[in-house]
């Protein structure tokens, strides 16, 4: 199975190359032309991506997230909400790779079949990286007014997180 998964992308590339040759297309020239056309788009996306990465690093390195969680910890313990889940729920709309790293840590610590592991997996699957989507896609086409999209995206994330708690408590509660 690992061999098949390692060969999928090279086989797809070879298929595209052979298909282009079959259709008598200059494959290399088409590739270079496409790369040239994408360069201006990359330049327009770069400032938005840089701002997002800077914001994520600022949030993670400043200690604000830890301060917020230590402040909320008594309330979370009263509701029996694991603090690791709150960290995941906060990071998920901001960064997919950070939330995936948190999910990996949660699964390694609590086990995938535990309540916390199931809840974290449901949150990961039922929410989206709202800030990333808005930054990348809206920034690449020059949309500056994102207020309503941000509200709708964060509301959808909140609905996904609340639904994850309900589903996890219904199906996986100890």
> Residue 89: pLDDT above 80?
yes
Q: What are phi and psi of 64, to 5 degrees?
A: -65, -40
* Model confidence pLDDT, tens digit, residues 39-88: 887 777 777 777 777 877 787 788 887 888 888 888 888 888 888 898 89
Q: Give the whole-number percent of the chain exceeding pLDDT 70.
A: 100
Instruction: Give the relative orientation of helices 27-61 and 64-78 as an angle to the nearest 10 degrees.
Output: 70
The predicted pLDDT at position 143 comes to 80
The predicted pLDDT at position 157 comes to 93
Confidence of residue 159 (pLDDT cuts 50, 70, 90): very high
Count Cβ neighbours within 10 Å for each residue of 21-58 and write b for 16 or more, e otherwise.
eeeeeeeeeeeeeeeeeeeeeeeebeebeeebeeebee
Q: Rounded to two decimals, what is the model's pTM?
A: 0.68
In this structure, the number of other CB atoms found within 10 A of the CB of residue 98 comes to 19
The predicted pLDDT at position 164 comes to 93
């Amino acid at each position: 199975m690992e061999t098949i998964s390692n060969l999928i992308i090279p086989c797809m590339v070879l298929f595209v190359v052979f298909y282009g040759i079959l259709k008598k297309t200059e494959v290399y020239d088409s590739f270079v032309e496409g790369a040239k056309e994408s360069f201006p788009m990359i330049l327009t996306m770069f400032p938005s991506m840089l701002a997002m990465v800077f914001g994520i690093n600022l949030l993670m390195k400043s200690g604000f997230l830890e301060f917020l969680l230590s402040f909320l910890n008594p309330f979370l313990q009263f509701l029996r909400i694991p603090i690791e889940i709150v960290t995941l729920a906060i990071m998920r709309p901001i960064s997919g790779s950070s939330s995936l790293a948190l999910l990996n840590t949660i699964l390694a610590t609590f086990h995938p079949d535990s309540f916390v592991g199931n809840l974290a997996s449901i949150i990961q699957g039922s929410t989206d990286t709202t800030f990333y989507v808005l930054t990348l896609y809206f920034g690449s086409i020059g949309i500056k007014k994102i207020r309503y999209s941000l509200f709708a995206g964060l509301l959808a994330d909140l609905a996904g997180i609340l639904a994850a708690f309900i589903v996890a408590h219904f199906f996986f509660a100890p």
